[in-house]
Structure formats: C-alpha cells, structure tokens
Structure 1
Amino acid sequence: MSSSSLVVLAVAGATLAVAAAVPRLRRPALLSVGTPLAALLGLVAALFAGFVSIYDVLAYAPVLVVGAATAAALATGEGRAFVRRVRSRLLFGVPWGTALVTAFVVAFYVYVQFGFRGLTSPLVVPFVSWSYYYPLGVLTAPFAHAGLGHLTGNVIGTLAFAPLAEYAFSHYPTGRGNSSFGSWRTNPYVRAFVLFPLGVLAVALLSGVFAWGATIGFSGVVYAFAGFALVRYPLATVVAVTARSVVSVLLETLQNPIVYANPSPSFGAPWWAGIAVQGHLFGFLLGALLAGALVARRGNRPSGARVWFGGLVLLTSLSLWAVWWYGVSTQYVLYRAVGVLLVAGVAALLAAVVRAGDRTLVSDLTTRRVAFSLLLLPILTMSLVAVPVNLTTVQDAGLPGDPVEIRDYRVTYAEDVTNERVGAVDVPYFEQVTNVSASGVVVANPDRNIWAERVSAGALAFWGDHAVTVGGLGWEETVWVHRRGWVPTGAHPVYNVYVEPENGDLRPVFASQSATADPVVAGRSVRVDAREGAFGLRVLRNGSVLSSVGIPAQNETVTAAGLTFVRNGSRVVVVNGDTRVTIAHEEQYQ
C-alpha cells in the first residue's frame, strides 16, 4: 500500500475516532463531509512534511473533493430525502447484494485467476466458455475476466446499475400487510444477502450457458442489471450510465493524475471487435424481462416515453449498436446501420412492454401477453442457437510443427491455419464471406475443447515478445514467445519464432519464407533465409545458389561467392571492392 493511501486511511480513522469521542461531532452529515476533507488536509500536511509527493496529492485531491461535495449534497434538502427513500428499501441504506456480488467477482480475479501475482496478467484460458463439453469454462466464464481493464469496466458497471436493480427488488416487502420478518421471503437480511445474490448467480449462469461461442466476463450480468433498471427507473438509469463515466474518470485520475503522451505507432484490432454483442443483448433482454414481470406484478409502470428515450440513450452509450463479425483473414466487419436499428427496435419494444395492459385482442390474448411474447422471442431464439454453437468440439484439431507441451496444453506458432473455433459463414446481402484463418500463437487443449489464437501474428511482429499463460484450477504456467527477424532491403521480413516455457529450453517452432534483397552486386543477389532458429545468407546468380553462409555475429565478417558480408550493429553490409550496400537490417519492435 502506498504512503498516500496510508495517510488517507490514517486521517479518516482519526477523524472517526474523534467523532466517536465527542458526541457533538457524531452527526452523519458532518462526518460524511468532514472525513474526506480531513483526509485531504492530512495529505497536504504530509506533503509539506515530505511523506508524500505532489503527484500523490494530485491523485487523491479530485476524488476526495468530489466525495465531500457529494456527501454535502446528500446531507441537505432533496439529498436527505433521497437518502431516506433509499433506507426505506435497502437495509441500512446499503445495497448489500451488490457489494457481495462485486466482492465475489473481484476475489475470483485475484485468487482463482492468480491476479495477485500480476493484476494485469491473469490466468484466462481455462475460464473461457469454450464448449458445453468443457463445463468448467461455462460455469466460470461469467465471473472471470481477460484483464484488469476488463474487470474494472464491469465492476464500475455493476456499481452503477446493480444498486438500482436491488432498490427495485427491495430488501423490505412492498406489498400491503406484509411484515418484514413475517417469513424468510420477506426477511430483509435474507433478501439482501441470499435472494438477490442468488438471482444474480442464476442470471450469470444463464449468460454463460447461452452465450455464443467462447466468451468471458461479467458483462452479460451488467447488461442484465442495466435492462432491469431501465424498465423500472428509466431516468435514473440514464443518470447511472453518466455516473459510470464519472467514476471511470476518477479512477483513472487516481491511477494517473498526470499523463504524458507522445505520438507512437500502435497495433490492435478495432475496439468494437472485442464486444460480445450477443451476450450483452441476451443479458439486457433477460434483465428487462424480469423487470417487466416485476412491474406487471406490482402495478407501478413507468412512462413509455421515458423508457423509449432512456433505452435509446442507454443502449447507444453501452455500444449495443456495435454489431460485427469476422471478415476475410484478419479483417473485421462492423454493421453499424444494423446495430442502430437494433438499438431503436429494442428501445421501442421495451416501451411497448411497460405500457401494455390487459386489453383483449383475440380470445384470451391480451396486449400484455403479446408484448411479453415479443420480448421473450429473441431470448429463446438466442438460447436455441447457442446450443448447437456450443456443442462444437475441437478434439480432432491438430497443431502444425513441434508444439511445446505443458501438461494437457500445447502451445505453438502458426500462420494461415484454419481457425477451429470459427467456421466458414456466409453473410448474405453484403457480399462478405467469412473465411477465418489463424496466424499467431495458438493454444490447444483437446481434453478441455480449447483451441485459441492467443496472440496474433501482427501483435507479435509489433511487440517482438509476448507471454501466454495456461493453467487450471490451482495452477498456472507462463510460456514466452519471441520473434526475431531480418528485413532484406526492399523485401518482406524474414523471421524465426521461438517458444520458451518456464524452466525449459528455447525452442524454434516456426520459420518464415525466405526473401531476396533488391540490391544486385557484381551480378549477384542475396537471399535471407530463416531455418531451425538461425538465419543465413545465400548468394544467387540467375536464380541459382552459388554459396551460402550464416549471418555474421556482431562486428564479424564472412565471405561467400566473392562477396564480403560485414555485421555493423543492426545491419548487414555487403562489400565488393569499393561498393558497400546494406543488404538487410534487424527487425525493430516496440
């Protein structure tokens, strides 16, 4: 824990201790405002005393000021009335179920995914919902995360939307004549600490079972919270999605109060290519369906117009319009127009659901039943499609070359091999055919039905080195993958890829095609080869090999077919009389 965090905690603790000793200072309004301000003054004092830096003060100051101002707003006037309303529905005014669920998700990341060993590099592969034949992945995928940013985003989303859902659920019975302790169903402690978390668990498991293909993350549940909250409290949900952005900015400020940035090259797929649109839509509609049933039962329907406008703003902010699929090779296709129509359609459907009444259309068919049937239809459709998709198996899928074996995993590097997780799918009317191949670091485990491109060829070419972690419950092991190459002048790179397991030897697993440099010296050209983890030079005349030699070591010289090759730093120079030409240079990585 940093020194600034210790100062904040110490001052806050001292403030509460003084308040406990002095009865006049025990007023909640005074404590809620005074504690963060006292912590801020403590940080300033620690700055002058030399215990913390100005960087630490700048990191905490915005958070403490916003906290104090928020507490002040809640301590007077309408804020105080708001607090009373919250306490009338939540035990001691706290969303205990939300806190319990959030703690569980964070604990899963820290302990089960070994986040405590490195917050930015958790164990991911065994906790993905690869197939129904791998039940561990299906059951754990909703609670696992691919990285710290993934976890942080979902935690913030949970804290933004789940309290609204829990408030609508209520720890206290809402029906007339029901006593809080009349039965276990109306017991506020049972509802807060058992029933609400169990409901969240059920939604999480459904999102894992009916997700299409390999997914990971709590976002399906976050979207269910959002859908539930929107149907019951549309305006509050729009405020919550804005508050989520505020919390994200405050967290980033706490981590990096000052950021220096320079223009630099970058590599990565488009941001929308990582969105599990189907999983998000399934969770959102499931949450909306549950809230619709609650609203119909209690009879407190919100305005249809509010649900429509709130849904439009919320779903756009949550990027549910980012409908995408794989294109040719490493290409991704965004169907933005389709996504916007989807957002508008879902918002209109929810508005119709909340306003539908008991007016009979035909026989016993009411408008409410029609509306709920229309809402249930896409949920059932997605569930039915998920079954054959998740019954796929990769048990017969092999890996080229000589992969490294780590228990029941195999890790290697390959290019232009068939992606065993994504089949060939025609997308009609868009002249787009999906023909997905994989190029990069591939991890396979037939026993767990795992086949995944964990690092793309482009990413490895950009970074040069990358770690891949495999494992299971209670164990993990990291494999390093390295790319080293040479770029012949005027030609494509020539490279070797090596895999290095923990406590193992470096092993070459891939060699690229050779390439011939553009310069011609004394009627001879030079080709750069990669083979068995080493690099060589071949001197050619009219396509015939005259001689071959390895690339010289640093500051050394070799001769082949009358040409002299000199290694000068990261360059290889060919010398022939007075002619000196750079024939190749080493690949550069970020």
Structure 2
Amino acid sequence: MPSLETVQWVLLTVVLPIITVATVLLSVAVVSRLHRADARWGDVARSRLVMGVPWGSLIVIALVWCVYLFVQDGITAFDDPVTIPYRAYSYFYPLGMLTASFSHAGPNHILGNLAAAVVVAPIAEYAWGHYPDERGAESSDSWRTDPWFRALLLFPLVVVAITIITSLFALGPVIGFSGVVFAFAAFALVHYPIVTIVGVLGVQGVLLTLYRALRNPIGIYVAESSPPSAPSWAGIAIQGHALGFFIGLVLGIALLRRRGHRPDALRIWIAILIFGFAQGLWQIYWFGGGNVFYLFQGPGVLIVTVLALVVTVAITATERPLVPERISRRFTRVRGPPSESAVARPLELARNSDDRSETSTDATALTAPLERISELAATPNSRDSSRLSSIGQRQAAFTLVLVVLAVLAGMAIPVNFFVLDDANVSSDAAVEIEDYTIQYAEDVEYELVSPVRVGPLSDAVALDASGVIVTSEERQLWAEVVPARQLEFSSEESIAVGGPGWRETVHVERIGWEPVGNDSVYQVEIWAEGDDPQLAHESNGSRADVRIDDQNVTMSSVDGEFTLEVESIETGEVETTTVPESNESTTAGGLAFEREDDTIYAAADGTRIAIANEE
C-alpha cells in the first residue's frame, strides 16, 4: 500500500496540474460558446494563417529551444547551460555573433523570452499573413506567395535574419532572444496595438504563472539574505531591446504603407507609450566605479515620450507638408528679397490679360503654358520654398525613425570590433582548458570598456574587475563571470566553459576568517573538475579590533595557511602560530587560542574574548 507521502506527491504533482489544465480548457470552451462574435475565432485565424496555426512562430520557438537544449547543453544541466562561448564578444568571433541571440543565460531567461514570444510572435505572423493578398486560388500561383512556403520557410528565415542582425549590432557581449521579441512586439503594435498591449501586459504573465503553478504546485520559501548585486535594470541589454523594437517598427510601417493601411493614431500612441514604459525602454544607464550605476530615468522618460509621438506620426499622419506653404514663404523672405527674373513682369501682365478674357476656353489654353514658363523662370528662393513645402509629415517622421535605428545600430560597431591583445591577468594561479584561461584576480582593468570623461560621468572612467575572470584570445573573450562579492557570499561557485559538443566545469572556493571589527582574511582556490585545488589568491592580513594582555592579534594568510600574529604593544615583539583545527587550541605570545566551531577565542589571565569568526 502506498505511503501517505506518495499519495500526497501524486495528488500535488499529477492530479492537481491535470485538474488545472482541464479547468482552463473548459473555461475557454464555455466562454467561446457564450461570446457572440460576428466570426468564430477559428475562422478569423484561418483567414490569414494556414489551418489557423502560426507555423513560423512555432518553428522559431522550437529552434530557440533546440539551441538551449543541444547547443548550450541544457539537456544535461537545464539549470546550468553553457553560456560563455555563446555571447557576442566581437566581430572576430563569428560563433558568438551567430548564436548569441538564440542562446540564453538560464531557465528563467529562456522561459521569460519564449513566454513573450508565444504572445507576440503569432500576432506579428498573423499581421504579415500566410496569404499575401486575398485568400484564393491565385495565392499559390508563385512560390513566393505560396502559403506553405511563407509559413514554413519565409517567415522563419526572416526571423533568423533579424536575430543575427540583433547580435551583430547589439552593444556588448549580449545573450538572449529578447531583441527579436521586441521586434515581434513592435511589428504587432503597428498593426494591432490594443491586442498586442493586452497580450504583453496580461497574457504573458498568465502563461508564466500557469507554468510555475503546474511545475511547482506548492512552493516552500525561506527568508534568507542575498549577495550584493547590481540593480535589476543594470543587467538589461537596453540598447539591444531598443534596436529590436525599431527594426520591428520599420518593417511594420513598411508593410502598412505597401498595403495602404493607416491605423488609428490614438490607439497607436497609447500602445507605444505604455509598451515603452512597461518594458523599460526608458532605463538608460551606465556604469561607474566602485559598484556605482547611473540611471538616466528623467532623460529616458522624455526620450520614450518623444519617440512615441514621432512613431505615431510616421504611422498615421498624412503627407501634408511638414512646413505649411505660408511659413515656407516667410522663411524664404527672411533669407532675402526675391530677385525677379526678366520675364516676371510680362508674365504677370499676360495672366491679367487672361483673367479679362471673354472666352474661358482661350484662357484655359493659355494658363498652362504660362504656369510652365513661370516655373522655369522661378527664382532660387521660390524653388527653396517649394522644396520645404513638399516634405510630408509622415515622410519626415519615418526618416527620423530610420535615423534612430541607424544610431542604435551604429553605436555598437566600434565596440564589436574589439580585439583582445593580451588575455593575461595578474593572478597566482589559473586553470587552462583548451583555449580558455580561468583565473581569480582583484582590481584589474576591465578590458571590454573604455569610457570617456564626460561631465557627471567623470568618475566612470577606470572600470575595475574583481572575481573569477575567463579569457580566451581565440574567442576575443574577457569576462568577469563571478564577481568577488558574489563569491564572498556563496563561498563556492562553478563555471561551465566549452563549445558545441563539449563542456568542462571549473570550481572556485573562498575560505576566510573575519577578525572582530575589521576586514576578512581569505584564500581563493580554483581547480578543474577531477583535479586538485590550487591556491589562486590570498588577501592581506587584518588586525582584530581587540586588545588582550597589552597585545594585538593579526590574522594573515601565508602560503595557503591562516596564521595568528601576536604583537606586544610594549616591546614590539611578534610571535606567530597557525590557526588551530576545530575544537583544538594553540599558544603564541602568552595567549591561548581556542577554536570552537566557527569562532576563535583568545585567553590570558582569566580573560577570554572572541577575535575572529569563520566566513
């Protein structure tokens, strides 16, 4: 007979998820029968999609999953995929450039991106359509307009091309599909603004909540401290998101113009503004020294607001002149008085004569030649006025959108031409695996950033790195993969390096003591899987903020051993001993040192006091 624990496990992990899924499906069925619409949901989907299915979106999502499982080796360790070789470090590292936007940093990363893709990609594919014009027999006459070709090949190929473009023109060593998700969202917003914004703000959260509830019906959470970390927005590839968004905008606007559609301006403006704020496109930031981050939220909000208006004009405005004719004429008068041509006065007399003509047919016959002569004889100022008034509102706004896209892409080009001249880092020890070098170092210059002194950013000049650093000249790779403060909190970390078809794990461990009232004294060891640990770093000594029997106690790390130095304040004499093992004791300088669990005590003349605690 099964135990009570087994029955509970089956109920929670099998029965409850089945009931939840059945309830959701039943709800959809009931609501679909109650909802009185002009057309059934299936008919609406089939009107633009083959069999009503977004085949292209499914293929792209499956491709991203395959990269995570089989290229990044997520199938072996789902929570710990290989990420280091699949970032866009440099144009001189093609593998990273081609795979970065298909790869992900972990399970939460890929689930978040694909949940968003499940929402916005089908909307974008529906807007594009498997049937290029009206559904009918003629739609399959050309292979370019064949619905199955557009669904199974053309749409996925376009998405793959956009994915690679977001890698090539993203700023820094990015990883993730989010740039393409933003492109999907922008393309969908242009065509179906309200549906898209509801999907992004609501449906995506519903999908993630359902997944987490099905995967872990009852969660147990314990309040605990967390390591010092950068703000959440400091880990977002904001330039990559904006780049993808504007790529989607340009493609969406181009398709609208080709089809001659002009959507509602208010809906477009509201949707783009809400999306920009909700998805953090205003989070413009930069790095400073000493774990300082600059968030330009005021300028960011202003930029998003202005661009929402510009994009709305580019989508919905007419081709009325950007500069009215009246203002254009005033502008030309400011530039200088018009210089009349030699035929100006005769032409004016001829027009007046036509106006007094009794025969309208004769007047009409003479008007066209006179206007042509007037145009040919126009002065430069009048021609400038004509050019100014010929620039349409929609054309000007769309040109500005293209300029923003060019700026977003162009700023990444100099950075992505990065070449790593010297991968060596000052370190006592390093692990070498194939072309990788894994080492621990502190206060070394961050090789991938060369900021410029500008106003309030004058402190953000020399960015230093401390922690586990992975380098590879072959891959143009220099990365701080585990910050020193994170290792201080966790004590041990594992780093996966590798490439297509292989992976190796390197372990790093920090052991240390914290003298009372002062900084920690620690050692860092590093080793590859299956090898012996080797000492990679030793910190400086630190004195306990206590005095016993007129003596100071300093803890140090020497050649892999922790030592206690006892210094007499009166004579300056120093005696040294090693830190005793657990529940053992030792003496130095007349002081007795006892180690009880994670604490070291010093005793003399009946006085006993704690001097250090293990990290």
1:334 to 278, 295, 314: 295
1:191 correspondence with 2:150: yes
What is the aligned partner in structure 2 of residue 426 from structure 1?
453
Task: Verify: 1:394 aligned to 2:420, yes or no.
Answer: yes
Question: Within 1, Cα distance between the matches of 2:420 and 2:26?
Answer: 55
- 2:281 pairs with 1:255: no
Deviation at 1:377, TM superposition (A): 0.3
Match of 1:31 in 2: none
Counterpart Cα distance in 2 of 1:79 and 1:506 = 71
What does residue 225 of structure 2 align with?
A: 265
Q: Tell me, in whole angstroms, the C-alpha distance in 2 between the residues paired with 1:505 and 1:102.
A: 42
For each residue in 1:536-577, what CA deviation from the matched residue of structure 2 results, as whole angstroms up to 9, or x when unmatched?
Answer: 111112494511111011222212122221121111111213
Partner of 2:331: none
* 1:52 aligned counterpart, secondary structure: helix
Q: CA deviation at 1:178?
A: 7.5
- Partner deviation per Cα, 1:146-195 (whole Å, 9 max, x = no partner): 11111001101111100011001101122598722111111110000011
Aligned partners of 1:329 and 1:435 also within 8 Å: no
Q: Which has the bigger relative contact order, CA under 8 A and spacing at least 6?
A: 2
Residue 62 of structure 1 and its aligned partner are, at CA, apart by: 3.4
Mean Cα displacement is larger for which, 123-132 or 566-575? 566-575
Partner of 1:304: 265
Tell me the equivalent position of 2:379. none
> Which residue is equivalent to 1:372?
398
Deviates more, 1:442-451 or 1:246-255: 246-255
The 5 A counterparts of 1:379-458 are: 379-401=405-427, 402-429=429-456, 433-458=460-485
Residue-by-residue CA offset, 1:453-474 (whole Å, 9 max, x unaligned): 1011111111111111111121
* CA distance in 2: counterparts of 1:67 and 1:79, whole angstroms: 22
SS in 2 for 1:433: coil
Point out the more displaced range, 224-233 or 366-375. Answer: 366-375
Q: 1:57 to 1:343 in 2, by over 3 A?
A: farther
Task: Tell me the residue number matched to 1:81.
Answer: 40
Q: In 2, distance between residues paired with 1:391 and 1:382?
A: 16
- How much has 1:116 moved relative to structure 2? 0.8
One of 578, 589, 599 as aligned partner of 1:550: 578
Deviations 1:469-510 (A, max 9, x none): 111121111111101100111111111011121121101101
TM-score when normalising by structure 1: 0.88
CA displacement at 1:336 relative to structure 2:
1.5
Structure 1 pair 48–111 and aligned structure 2 pair: CA distance change class (3 A):
closer
- Which stretch of structure 1 is more off in the superposition, 393-402 or 515-524? 393-402
* Alpha-carbon distance between aligned partners in 2 of 1:448 and 1:428, rounded to the nearest angstrom: 35
Residue 432 of structure 1 deviates from its aligned partner by 5.2
Report the counterpart of residue 577 of structure 1 in structure 2. Answer: 605
Q: Flag structure 2 segments of 5+ consecutive residues without an equivalent.
A: 323-385
User: Contact conserved, 2:13 with 2:215, CA < 8 A, in 1?
Assistant: no
Shift of 1:66: 2.2
Q: CA separation of 1:427/1:160 partners in 2, compared to 1, >3 Å: closer, same or farther?
A: farther
Q: Does the CA contact (< 8 Å) of 1:59 and 1:256 recur in 2?
A: no
**Matching residue of 1:52:** 10
Tell me: CA distance 1:176–1:577, structure 2 relative to 1, closer, same or farther (3 Å): closer
For 2:420 and 2:85, how far apart are their aligned partners in 1? 15
In the alignment, structure 1 residue 466 sits paired with structure 2 residue 426:
no
Q: Which residue of 1 aligns with 2:332?
A: none
Q: Is 1:147–2:173 an aligned residue pair?
A: no
Q: CA deviation at 1:68?
A: 2.5
Residue of structure 2 in register with 1:219 after alignment: 178
Matches within 5 A, 1:501-512: 501-512=528-539
CA distance in 1, matches of 2:241, 2:6: 49
**Alpha-carbon distance, 1:60 to partner:** 4.5
Q: Is the 2:282–2:303 Cα contact (8 Å) retained in structure 1?
A: yes
| Number of positions where the alignment pairs a residue of Structure 1 with one of Structure 2 | 541
1:319 equivalent in alignment to 2:299: no
Instruction: Please identify, of 465-474 and 332-341, the stretch whose mean Cα deviation from structure 2 is larger.
Output: 332-341
Letter matched to residue 465 of structure 1: E
Give the corresponding residue for 2:204.
244
* Deviation of the 1:451 alpha carbon: 0.5
Between the aligned partners of 1:568 and 1:334, the Cα distance in structure 2 is 47
Residues 427, 434 of structure 1: 8 Å contact kept: no
> Is this contact kept in 2: 1:330–1:437, CA < 8 A?
no
Instruction: Please list the CA deviations of residues 315-358 of structure 1 after superposition, one character each: whole Å capped at 9, or x if unmatched.
Output: 22212122211122222222221221222122212211111333
Normalised to the residue count of structure 2, the TM-score between the two structures is 0.84
**Is 1:123 matched up with 2:149?**
no
Aligned AA for 1:147?
A: G
What secondary structure is seen at the aligned counterpart in 1 of 2:102?
coil
Counterpart-to-counterpart distance in 2, 1:169 and 1:176: 13
Q: Which residue of the other structure, out of 243, 250, 257, is the alignment partner of 1:282?
A: 243
Asked whether the 8 Å contact 2:12–2:217 carries over to 1, the reply is: no
Match of 1:359 in 2: 320
Deviation at 1:123, TM superposition (A): 0.1
Give the conservation status (yes or no) of the 8 Å contact 2:467–2:481: yes
Q: How far has the Cα of 1:434 moved from its partner?
A: 4.1
Q: Where do residues 177-188 of structure 1 align in structure 2 (5 Å cutoff)?
A: 179-188=138-147
Q: How many Å separate the matches in 1 of 2:137 and 2:260?
A: 17
The 1-side partners of 2:543 and 2:171 are apart by 45
What does 1:26-45 correspond to in 2, within 5 Å?
A: none
Structure 1 runs of 4+ with >4 Å offset: 47-51, 175-178, 429-432
Offset of 1:427 from its aligned partner?
4.6
Instruction: Give the superposed CA RMSD.
Output: 2.1
Deviates more, 1:93-102 or 1:556-565: 556-565
- Separation (CA, whole Å) in 1 of partners of 2:507 and 2:482: 11
1-structure distance, mates of 2:39, 2:32? 5
SS of 1:307's partner is helix
Is 2:523 the counterpart of 1:565?
no
- Structure 1: how far apart are the matches of 2:299 and 2:124? 29
Cα distance, 1:277 vs structure 2 = 0.5
Instruction: Select the structure of larger CA radius of gyration.
Output: 2
User: Structure 1 residue 133: deviation in Å?
Assistant: 1.1
What do residues 120-161 of structure 1 show as CA deviations (whole Å, max 9, x unaligned)? 100000000001111110111010001111100110111110
Contact in 1 for aligned 2:242/2:408 (Cα 8 Å): no
Counterpart-to-counterpart distance in 2, 1:487 and 1:466: 20
